[in-house]
């Protein structure tokens, strides 16, 4: 439900401008200012969007920052363009959420609705519009699961995770850490942090992590 006009994206842009760093933010198909219908999107399609942005609008090594679903997309983009990625920052990163946090938690009635009608509308705490969960999203998500096997990403990775996150369990960050082949992975658990991690102290922490990662990767 977030887009490139959210507080994290705008704060990152302002911070990077102040440091003389290039910065690029964008919306996936059906998100924010991008055209298209959100319900037509899938994890694979949105990952293709991210790779296209990398290919067409960036030059040189990149640090990718992904929040929630964007954390999954970030990982898929890093796998597709391994030589181009200098580092990753995940904020409540949610790889495999369609299977582990949606399908696995659905009632049989909800599953039947998805299979028979092709969609299920789940109320959202972040706005009036519900989440549109389609059969295509669930089935495509299964083609892009990352936590079932070693994840061949070897660049530095920083994961920020709230322990009061009602959407992505904080143990997801530990599962991701275990799957990553990189030995340079750091997890920051924020005891009072929620899913958004967009309070002033959360944004300040994100900027510190970015500065440290930029210094490390040069």
Per-residue pLDDT reduced to its tens digit, 67-122: 999 999 999 999 999 999 999 999 999 999 999 999 999 999 999 999 999 999 88
- Whole-number Å distance between alpha carbons of 50 and 53: 5
CA 108 to chain centre: 28
**Identified catalytic residue from 96, 100, 165, 202:** 165
182 is an active site residue: no
Is residue 56 scored above 70 in pLDDT? yes
- Measured between its terminal Cα atoms, the distance across the chain in Å is 33
Average pLDDT score over residue span 135-160: 98
β-strand partners of 133: 120
Give Cβ neighbours of residue 179 (< 8 Å, ≥ 6 apart).
146, 147, 149, 150, 151
- Whole-number Å distance between alpha carbons of 59 and 74: 17
68 is an active site residue: yes
CA distance to 22, 35, 133, 179, per residue, from 98 (Å): 32, 23, 9, 18
CA distance to 28, 62, 113, 194, per residue, from 168 (Å): 21, 26, 24, 9
Q: Model pTM greater than 0.85?
A: yes
Where residue 123 falls among pLDDT bands split at 50, 70, 90?
confident
- The closest alpha carbon to 96, from 120, 129, 68, belongs to 68
96 is an active site residue: no
Give the chain's radius of gyration (CA, Å): 17
- Whole-number Å distance between alpha carbons of 157 and 19: 21
Average pLDDT score over residue span 177-198: 98
**Identified catalytic residue from 2, 68, 100, 202:** 68
- The closest alpha carbon to 95, from 187, 177, 207, belongs to 177
What confidence score (pLDDT) does residue 179 get?
98
**Identified catalytic residue from 2, 100, 144, 195:** 195
Residue 105 CB neighbour total at 10 angstroms: 8
Spatial contact of 44 and 72, defined as CB atoms under 8 Å apart = no
Average pLDDT score over residue span 125-152: 91
């Amino acid at each position: 439900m977030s887009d490139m006009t959210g507080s994290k994206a705008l704060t990152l842009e302002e911070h990077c401008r102040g440091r003389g760093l290039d910065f690029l933010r964008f919306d996936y198909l059906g998100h924010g200012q991008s055209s298209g219908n959100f319900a037509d999107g899938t994890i694979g399609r949105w990952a293709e969007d991210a790779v296209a942005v990398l290919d067409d609008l960036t030059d040189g090594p990149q640090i990718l920052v992904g929040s929630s679903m964007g954390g999954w997309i970030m990982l898929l983009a890093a796998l597709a363009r391994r030589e181009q990625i200098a580092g990753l920052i995940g904020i409540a990163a949610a790889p495999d959420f369609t299977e582990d946090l949606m399908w696995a938690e659905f009632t049989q009635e909800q599953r039947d609705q998805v299979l028979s009608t092709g969609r299920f509308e789940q109320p959202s705490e972040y706005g009036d519009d519900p989440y549109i969960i389609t059969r295509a999203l669930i089935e495509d998500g299964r083609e892009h699961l990352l936590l079932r096997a070693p994840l061949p990403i070897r660049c530095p990775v920083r994961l920020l995770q709230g322990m009061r996150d009602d959407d992505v369990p904080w143990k997801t960050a530990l599962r991701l850490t275990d799957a990553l082949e990189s030995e340079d992975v750091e997890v920051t658990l924020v005891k009072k942090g929620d899913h958004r991690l967009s309070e002033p102290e959360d944004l300040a922490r994100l900027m510190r992590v970015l500065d440290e990662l930029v210094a490390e990767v040069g």
